[in-house]
Copies of this chain bind each other. A is one copy, B any other.
């Protein structure tokens, strides 16, 4: 199947969003519902800065969405495609 260069790039960008262990773990936590940056950082044993940087990328890809409440920012998954991709990948890893 011929694939245009543009769509190849878009596909690659899509999968790139899931191509880092930190981002995968962020997404795995957000599967349970929204969570603040500090809590994510604590659970992942990462600095808030590192988490914030990753969330920025995920936000730009429309993978997550932010909700501001006071001085906290809660993030949640923005797209159920993400969850589908994640679960299919996990299935492959677990008994592929």
Measured CB to CB, the residues of A under 8 A from B are 1-3, 5, 7-12, 14-16, 18-25, 28-29, 31-32, 79, 81, 84-86, 88-94, 96
Contacts and interface: CB of A to CB of B under 8 A. Distances in A.
22 contacts: A1-B29, A1-B31, A3-B24, A3-B28, A5-B21, A5-B25, A7-B90, A8-B28, A11-B24, A11-B89, A11-B93, A12-B20, A12-B21, A15-B15, A15-B16, A15-B85, A19-B19, A81-B88, A85-B85, A85-B88, A85-B89, A88-B88
A15 B89 contact: yes
A1 B43 CA distance: 12
Contacts of A93: 7, 10-11, 14
B15 A18 contact: yes
A19 B24 contact: no
